[in-house]
A and B are shown apart, each in its own frame.
Chain A
Amino acid sequence: MSQIRPVVAGVGTTSYGRLPEMDAYDLGMAALTEALEDCGLGFDALDAVVINRIPDYQRFCEIAGIDPQYVTITPGHGRFAAICIEHAVTLLRSGRYNTVALVYGNNGRSAGDAYGGADDSYGSGGGGLWFPYGMTSPGAFHALMMRRHMELYGTTPEQLAQVPITFRDHASLNPQAVMRDRIDLETYLSARMICEPLRLFDYCLINDGGVALVLTTEERGRDLARPPVHVRGAALQTAFKGSMFPPDDFWAAPLASVAERSLGEAGLSREDMSALMIYDNFAPTVLFSLEGLGYCGRGESGPYVAEGHLALGGRHPTNTSGGHLSESYMQGWALNVEAVRQLRGECGARQVEGAANVHYAAAAPVCSSIIYSTEAS
């Protein structure tokens, strides 16, 4: 029996920004409608639906007027973008489902989401225990990691700055990006500190928006409206033990595991990658990801990014949309769509010429890696 090959058939995105007239259901619905139009399928074609961040799966399906065979709902944590994609891959490979929609809706900006303070539950939900010391926010968690990286390896603020500066350059070429004005080193360094050593431009942009992907099998995807993009390799690895505190290894071990398994499944190497989409909730996670995934050596990410390898035209153009730091914090979802659009050649001024393989990855208590390709393995 030959392996069933999963493909992304359709993608849809809303505009990003402050969209107070839309709630999370509306944003997910608008994105799903676009994704289905993109591939030329109707709502009735969906036999499985995976909901992310939208509050209620039943209400969402009621609004969409659909009765899929299978449905599930997942927490609104960014690490879940790849978990949902892995889930879709597993459902398709099982042979039990043919067309799976992944639907994400986020009205965090209009809802005033803050990611820090009294409602913070980052770090195994243990936040409240540390509030008396003033410890709160995922940003501070990453600031602690970045400080340690700086002291262990000599990484400098000027090196870290190259991440947001480069992604902003990319965003300046993306009409959908929320922040498109380019920034230079002086602007980066003179911006206010949020949690030292992290400055304003090291933080992602909380916004409203919706994203949807429709996945199906290679066999079915062949006849649809858009060229199918293969999910050629995928892997997850959790790192939950002791995860109330930053990981000693900057998630190097779980990242190495997902990189090896997903590249192995794809039959591809790092040199084959045309572009990288790296989860950038905070600029430092890009450094940790590059090291853990093996794009540079341990502790060498500072000099590596300073050499310009992440820029369009560089060795591995990264977050060509501007990513979470400049396009919008769509919790990994929009980066996966950008991977698909790059491989379809739809990215206009920011298009990577001849893009054939794109690597998505996230460094978090659930590490993930997905290899997208124009060709099957």
Chain B
Amino acid sequence: MTEITAKPLPRLDGPEAPFWAGLREGEIRVQHCVACGTPRFPASRFCPECHSDRAEWRAVEPRGEVESHCTFHKCYFPGFVGDMPYTVIQVRLDCGLRFFSNIADGGRPATGQRVAAVFEPATADVVLLKFAPEDGA
């Protein structure tokens, strides 16, 4: 009998709680500096650009570009055993913020490829931000 080990899950009640709540509602919500407007992720109290501590969480355009990708052949997390080998992508959203993620269908990405967000449920509470090739791209 095979024991199923779960994949690592994000901490939903941490400083990025509004981000995870946004994904559940189909939005990429990140902190924006109220003073200078610069978006930032992960969360921090102070804006790295202007050092203001006034920030609000709002949605950004769910589109971007694959900057690079790598394929794991060594398994670091028991929960990924069944996915080996799997590919991680480095995405730059059009707002400039970057994320590590995966192509939603497990497909092979290409550097420079345009992608759109896919809000993929991982558990009853957790939705992960994944990506798929943009329509017509």
Residue B57 is within 8 A (CB to CB) of chain A in the complex: no
Q: Is A134 within 8 A of B9, CB to CB?
A: no
Complex CA distance for A241 and B48, rounded to whole angstroms = 8
Which of A116, A120, A130, A197 makes the CB contact (< 8 A) with B70?
Answer: A197
How does the 8 Å CB contact mask read for A147-188 relative to B, with 1 for contact and 0 for none?
110010000000000000000000000000000000000000
Residue A196 is within 8 A (CB to CB) of chain B in the complex: yes
Instruction: Return A248 CB to nearest CB of chain B, in Å.
Output: 8
Complex CA distance for A133 and B87, rounded to whole angstroms = 9
CB-contacts of B15-48 with A (<8 A) = 16, 42, 48
A-B contact count (CB 8 A): 95
B73, B86, B130: residue with the most chain A Cβ atoms closer than 10 Å: B73
Instruction: Return B46 CB to nearest CB of chain A, in Å.
Output: 14
Residue A308 is within 8 A (CB to CB) of chain B in the complex: no
Complex CA distance for A110 and B47, rounded to whole angstroms = 41
Q: Is B128 within 8 A of A131, CB to CB?
A: no
Which A residues are in CB contact (< 8 Å) with B72? 134, 140, 195-196
Which of B10, B67, B126 makes the CB contact (< 8 A) with A129?
Answer: B10
Interface size on B, residues (CB 8 A): 34
Which B residues are in CB contact (< 8 Å) with A64? none
Which A residues are in CB contact (< 8 Å) with B7? 132, 134
Which B residues are in CB contact (< 8 Å) with A135? 88, 100
How does the 8 Å CB contact mask read for A113-153 relative to B, with 1 for contact and 0 for none?
01011101000001011111111110010011101100100
A117-B76, A140-B70, A145-B68 given; A134·B111 CB < 8 A? no
Specify the chain A residue showing the minimal Cβ separation from B79: A134
Residue A246 is within 8 A (CB to CB) of chain B in the complex: yes
A114, A145, A147: residue with the most chain B Cβ atoms closer than 10 Å: A147
Which A residues are in CB contact (< 8 Å) with B98? 242, 244-245
Instruction: Return A43 CB to nearest CB of chain B, in Å.
Output: 42
Q: Is B8 within 8 A of A195, CB to CB?
A: no
A133, A136, A148, A245: residue with the most chain B Cβ atoms closer than 10 Å: A133
A140-B88, A144-B90, A193-B73 given; A129·B68 CB < 8 A? no
CB-contacts of B82-105 with A (<8 A) = 83, 85-86, 88, 90, 98, 100-102
Which A residues are in CB contact (< 8 Å) with B68? 144-145, 147-148, 151, 246
Residue B71 is within 8 A (CB to CB) of chain A in the complex: yes
Complex CA distance for A117 and B72, rounded to whole angstroms = 12
Which A residues are in CB contact (< 8 Å) with B76? 114, 116-117, 120, 134, 136-137
Complex CA distance for A242 and B67, rounded to whole angstroms = 15
A194-B73, A194-B74, A196-B85 given; A151·B111 CB < 8 A? yes
Residues of B within 8 A of A (CB): 7-11, 16, 42, 48, 67-74, 76-77, 80, 83, 85-86, 88, 90, 98, 100-102, 111-112, 122, 126, 128, 130
Q: Could you list 20 examples of A-B contacts with CB < 8 Å?
A: A116-B76, A129-B16, A130-B100, A131-B8, A132-B122, A132-B128, A133-B88, A133-B101, A134-B72, A140-B88, A143-B70, A144-B88, A145-B68, A147-B69, A148-B68, A151-B111, A194-B73, A195-B71, A244-B42, A245-B100
